[in-house]
Structure formats: structure tokens, C-alpha cells
Amino acid sequence: MFERIGIVGTGAMGRGIAQLFASAGKQVWLHDARSASISEALRFNRELLERGVAKGRLSVAELDATLARMQAAPALADLSGCDLVIEAIVENLEAKQA
């Protein structure tokens, strides 16, 4: 089964997919052509999960475990060990080909 998931593109769709898989116990590696987007996605997901803790939907231990399963993949080659890679970049053919 898929245990290590790679996500290419860390916009709204990519970060949502990453959070979903990490919450389900999967290791997730995030890559984006713009490295700052990876940090933004990880920060966004942290804030989203922290709201879940504040509302009592998630324990602090679950928050920590989920965040630990999301990692930055600065280079596309960092996704080479993934069981599944999901492309979630902007709907632009030139960008996808690059």
C-alpha cells in the first residue's frame, strides 16, 4: 500500500491533500518549484490543525504526530522514494511540462 506520498505543488489543493494523507498516518513529502511555498503550506497546515486542537477535535499528540509526517522536499529528486506522487500544480500546461 502507499506509505510515502509525494505532493508536487503546495497551493490550496496540494496542501489539502498533504494534510489529509498525514492525518491518515502517511508520510508526506511536499515539493514546489517555489521553495517558499513549501514553508507556507506547512505553516498553513499547522495553523489549521491547531484550530482543530482548540475546538477539541484533535489532541495535541495527534497534532504533533500529523505535523511530523509532513516533510519538505526541496528538490524533485527527494520524491524518488515515494510510493505515490500526486501532481497538484496550477492548471497551466507550460507549468506542468516544466
Grid cell at residue 6: 509525494
Grid cell at residue 21: 494523507
Q: According to the model, what pLDDT value does residue 72 have? A: 97
Confidence of residue 94 (pLDDT cuts 50, 70, 90): confident
Structural domain boundaries in the chain: 4-91
The pTM score is 0.88
In terms of residues, how long is the chain? Answer: 98
- Evaluate whether the domain defined by 4-91 bears CATH number 3.30.360.10: no
Biggest distance spanned by C-alpha atoms of the chain: 43
Residue type, 89: I
For residue 72, give the DSSP letter.
Answer: E
Residue type, 27: Q
Is the Cβ–Cβ distance between 70 and 48 less than 8 Å? no
